[in-house]
């Protein structure tokens, strides 16, 4: 019997901000993102979202007095720590993880209250299932089933001063990219992992590409790695497609954010974007 494998499709990325939700949300607004009002999960964490066309960015942390909730999340480094895949069926993905010896806990259900742009109150409801934690150094990778996608992807929330339309690249640094990519080969099939001309390994994930590369490649493309990078495989940078580099530049100037212009992109180093680098391009 042929067993179908999940198709890689980026749902969202998670930036661990721990107890610095105020500082991180203020910074990302200065970077030119429209952020949602603070949401509060039933599991105890809180967040702000920047919603794009196909995917989104999540600033995830906790408010004062709630650091004892979801403590495993806050042990990861600050910065980019979550690579999240879309699914329509978290239970089916869990069975696949079990067959592939990638499973951790069974699917979890949770929600958070949401006020829609028209003032209507509703809930965003999710089911998630995670790869076994020790398989993903310095972070998490999991599937997310949106039971209420209309409570996330609202057109009014998809317009950003910096013109960003979608996350286009998720960068992982590894001393041995082939070894770091093995878990995703088991997850999606080895044929989904492709070698690129610059020596990185890539996974097409809808409008985004997951790129697993050497530190030298990442430094050339994104600048200095996070200061606390210790040589273990690490999620370090995002590329974002915008409709206007001029809008990006004006947002950064107005926000007093240091940036570097490349011939075809604008780069904000990790020190200026909460411990991950951001590369904006057309």
User: Residue 75, Cβ neighbours under 10 Å: how many?
Assistant: 11
pLDDT of amino acid 2: 58
Count CA atoms closer than 13 A to 38's CA, side-chain side.
Answer: 15
Q: What is the DSSP string of the chain?
A: -PPPPPPP-EEEEEEEEET-HHHHHHHHHHTT---PPPEE-TTS-EEEEEE-SS-EEEEEE--TT-TTTTHHHHTSPSEEEEEEEEES-HHHHHHHHHHTT-B-SPPEEEEEEEE-TTS-EEEEEEEEEEB-GGGSTTSEEEEEEES-GGGT--GGGS--TT-EEEEEEEEEE-SSHHHHHHHHHHHH-GGG-EE-TTS-EEEEETTEEEEEE-HHHHHHHH-SPPTT--SS-EEEEEEEEES-HHHHHHHHHHTT---EEETTEEEE-GGGTTSSEEEEE-
- Each of the 282 residues of the chain gets a pLDDT tens digit; together they read 456 899 999 999 999 999 999 999 999 999 999 999 998 998 889 999 999 999 999 999 999 877 777 878 888 999 999 999 999 999 999 999 999 999 999 999 999 999 999 999 999 999 999 999 999 999 999 999 999 999 999 999 999 999 999 999 999 999 999 999 999 999 999 999 999 878 899 999 999 999 999 999 999 999 999 999 999 999 999 999 999 999 999 999 999 999 999 999 999 999 999 999 999 999
pLDDT of amino acid 235: 98
How many whole angstroms from its chain centre is CA 74? 16
Question: What is the model's pTM?
Answer: 0.96
pLDDT of amino acid 199: 81
Between β-strands 56-61 and 140-146, what pairing exists: parallel, antiparallel or unpaired? Answer: unpaired
Domains of the chain are 10-157 (3.10.180.10), 164-281 (3.10.180.10)
pLDDT of amino acid 134: 95
């Amino acid at each position: 019997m042929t067993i179908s494998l999940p198709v890689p499709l980026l749902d969202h990325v998670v930036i661990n901000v721990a107890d610095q939700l105020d500082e991180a949300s203020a910074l990302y607004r200065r970077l030119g993102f429209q952020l949602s009002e603070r949401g509060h999960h039933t599991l105890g964490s809180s967040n702000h979202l920047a919603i794009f066309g196909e995917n989104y960015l999540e600033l995830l942390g906790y408010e004062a007095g709630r650091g004892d909730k979801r403590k495993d999340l806050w042990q990861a480094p600050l910065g980019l720590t979550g690579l999240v895949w879309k699914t329509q069926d978290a239970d089916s993905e869990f069975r696949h993880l079990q067959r592939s010896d990638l499973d951790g806990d069974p699917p979890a259900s949770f929600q958070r209250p949401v006020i829609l742009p028209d003032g209507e109150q509703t809930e965003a409801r999710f089911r998630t299932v995670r790869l076994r934690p020790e398989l993903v150094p310095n972070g998490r990778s999991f599937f997310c089933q949106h039971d209420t996608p209309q409570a996330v992807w609202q057109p009014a929330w998809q317009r950003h001063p910096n013109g960003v339309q979608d996350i286009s690249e998720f960068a992982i640094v590894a001393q041995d990219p082939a070894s770091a990519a093995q878990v995703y080969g088991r997850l999606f099939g080895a044929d989904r992992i492709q070698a690129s001309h610059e020596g990185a390994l890539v996974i097409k994930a809808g409008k985004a590409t997951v790129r697993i590369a050497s530190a030298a490649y990442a430094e050339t493309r994104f600048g200095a790695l996070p200061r606390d990078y210790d040589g273990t495989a690490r999620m370090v940078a995002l590329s974002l497609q915008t409709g206007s580099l001029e809008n990006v530049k004006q947002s950064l100037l107005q926000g007093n954010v240091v940036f570097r212009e490349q011939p075809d992109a604008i780069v904000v180093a990790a020190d200026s974007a909460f411990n991950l680098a951001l590369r904006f391009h057309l």
